[in-house]
């Protein structure tokens, strides 16, 4: 029998506590290459990172006594299960397993492979902080630009409005001045044509036709109005009064239409128009114009008592008052005259309304007023002639 080596006959180390031995011993993966220490007593030096990577903690296992190499049982006199003490002169490290390396914790910032794979599967989204100062600067620039545009627009609108207003005032003043000499510079047949067509001026929108039967000669203004009405108009002055009397196609009605050219300026005409409107002077029966009754005409019997309806319009674009007064051609008298504006209203049941006398007065005065505007417009386009005539 060959002689046993010192390692085989060595006395096992002193029994240690099982828990301490279990805590100290940790197996390593099969791939770990543990080297047996030499007789010099010191294990070859290894890199700390390599050693740390090789050692992994495992759960507690069986007692370390089973780690002794197989061979014949212990020497006589040694209890079974108790390791023999090492022989004299044997190195100390030979009595202990080489797996007493304590495991080191993983590196603090070592990435977890599972978490790394999970993070790689998810999209990586980052949110940058908004540049508040830059956004605020852009907002201020936009607001400043809008304010600049609005300011320029308001200024331009104000300037354009002032220009338009000035042009309108100049045109109105020019037209007003051109209307002054119309009474003697425009032919009578232009202001009072022999036949006047009134499309839709009759009752219910019917067409009307009026034929001129007389033109009043030049005369004073006082004889053309009742004393009280003349008192109201006298403040505007009287430059000339033009009158003409018409009859309808059936010669059942007669109407006198007049143009009073005043001496007032635009402010005076505006004041007169305001007074008529606010005091309702055009609706008072004691402020009616007088008719022109021409002899040997259907209007021969058209006097003050035959006045049935009337209308008065104070112009502000020209120094002119346009009026008309209507009555029956048979000379019948009227006890209660009615303003033309009331006689043409829907539902009116008076004799003037049912006969259409209100439409006669309003329709004819409206047609004459249109001819006056056209005449003034033509005179305004020829300002030198108009100015020469007025002088």
> Look-up: residue for tokens 């007064």?
325
CB 257 within 8 A of CB 266: no
Q: Which range is most confident: 61-65, 73-77, 257-261?
A: 257-261
CB burial of 114-152 (b: ≥16 within 10 Å; e: otherwise) equals: eeeeeeeeeeeeeeeeeeeeeeeeeeeeeeeeeeeeeee
Across 140-149, 179-188, 253-262, least confident range: 140-149
Whether 69 has a pLDDT exceeding 50, the answer reads: no
State the SS3 of the chain: CCCCCHHHHCECCCCCCHHHHHHHCCCCCCCCCCCCCCCCCCCCCCCHHHHHHHCCCCCCCCCHHHHCCCCCCCCCCCCCCCCCECCCCCCHHHHCCCCCCCCCCCCCCCCCHHHHHHHHHCCCCCCCCCCHHHHHHHHHHHHHHHHHHHHHHHHHHHHHHHHHHHHHHHHHHHHHHHHCCHHHHCCHHHHCCCEEEECCCCHHHCCEEEEEEEECCCCCCHHHECHHHHHHHHHHCCCEEEEEEEEECCCCEEEEEEEEECCCCHHHHHHHHHHHHHHCHHHCHHHCECCCCCCCCCCCCCCHHHCCEEEEEECCCCCEEEEEEEEECCCCCCCCCEEHHHHCCCCCCCHHHHHCHHHHHHHHHHHHHHHHHHHHHHHHHCHHHHHHHHC
pLDDT in tens, 115-133: 656 555 565 555 555 555 5
Is it the case that residue 385 has pLDDT exceeding 90? no
| Tens digits of residue pLDDT in 160-198 | 565 554 444 556 677 788 888 888 889 999 999 999 999
Predicted pLDDT at 179: 87
pLDDT at 143: 74
Note whether 66 and 12 are within 8 A (CB): no
With CA atoms as reference, report the closest residue to 334 among 301, 306, 299, 292.
306
Looking at per-residue pLDDT, the higher value among 11 and 309 belongs to 309
* pLDDT confidence of residue 340: 95
The answer, yes or no, to whether residue 78 has pLDDT greater than 70, is: no
Using alpha carbons, list the distances in angstroms from residue 239 to 88, 179, 183, 236, 389. Answer: 160, 12, 9, 9, 14
- Whole-number Å distance between alpha carbons of 103 and 274: 113
> How confident is the model at residue 14, as a pLDDT?
46
- pLDDT for residue 57: 56
Which is more confidently placed, 381 or 242? 242
Q: Give the angle subtended at the CA of 68 by the CAs of 65 and 73, to the nearest 5°.
A: 95
Q: What is the pLDDT of residue 380?
A: 78
What is the rounded distance in angstroms from the CA atom of residue 252 to the CA atom of residue 248?
7
For 178, the token pair is: 């051109």
Token pair, residue 185, equals 């510079």
In this prediction, residue 117 carries a pLDDT of: 62
pLDDT at residue 288, as a whole number: 93
Task: Compute the average pLDDT of residues 200-223.
Answer: 88
Predicted local confidence at residue 290, as pLDDT: 94
């Amino acid at each position: 029998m060959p002689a046993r080596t010192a390692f085989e006959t060595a006395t096992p180390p002193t029994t240690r506590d099982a828990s301490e031995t279990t805590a100290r011993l940790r197996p390593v993966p099969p791939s770990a290459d543990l080297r047996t220490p030499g007789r010099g007593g010191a294990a070859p030096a290894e890199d700390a990172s390599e050693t740390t990577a090789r050692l992994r903690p495992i759960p507690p296992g069986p007692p370390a006594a089973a780690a002794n190499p197989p061979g014949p049982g212990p020497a006589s006199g040694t209890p079974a299960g108790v390791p023999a003490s090492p022989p004299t002169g044997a190195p100390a490290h030979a009595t202990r397993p080489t797996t007493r390396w304590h495991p080191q914790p993983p590196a603090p910032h070592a990435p977890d492979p599972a978490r790394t794979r999970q993070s790689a599967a998810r999209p990586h989204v980052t949110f940058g902080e908004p540049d508040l100062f830059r956004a605020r600067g852009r907002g201020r620039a936009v607001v400043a630009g809008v304010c600049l545009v609005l300011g320029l627009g308001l200024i331009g609108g104000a300037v354009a409005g002032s220009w338009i207003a000035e042009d309108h005032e100049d045109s109105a003043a020019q037209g007003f001045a051109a209307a002054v000499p119309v009474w003697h510079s425009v032919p009578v047949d232009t202001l009072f044509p022999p036949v006047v067509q009134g499309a839709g001026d009759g009752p219910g929108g019917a067409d009307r036709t009026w034929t001129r039967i007389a033109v009043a000669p030049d005369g004073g203004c006082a004889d053309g109005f009742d004393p009280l009405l003349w008192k109201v108009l006298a403040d505007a002055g009287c430059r000339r009064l033009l009158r003409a009397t018409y009859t309808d196609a059936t010669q059942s009605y007669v109407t006198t239409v007049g143009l009073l050219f005043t001496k007032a300026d635009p402010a005076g005409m505006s004041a007169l128009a305001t007074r008529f409107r606010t005091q309702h002077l055009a609706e008072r029966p004691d402020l009616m114009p007088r008719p022109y009754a021409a002899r040997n005409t259907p209007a021969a019997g058209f006097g003050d008592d035959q006045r049935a309806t009337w209308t008065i319009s104070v112009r502000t674009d020209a120094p002119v008052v346009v009026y008309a007064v209507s009555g029956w051609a048979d000379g019948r008298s009227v006890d209660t005259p009615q303003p033309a504006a009331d006689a043409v209203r829907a539902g009116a049941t008076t004799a003037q309304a049912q006969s259409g006398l209100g439409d006669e007065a309003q329709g004819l005065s409206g047609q004459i007023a249109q001819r006056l505007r056209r005449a003034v417009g033509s005179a305004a386009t020829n300002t030198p002639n108009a100015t020469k005539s007025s002088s």
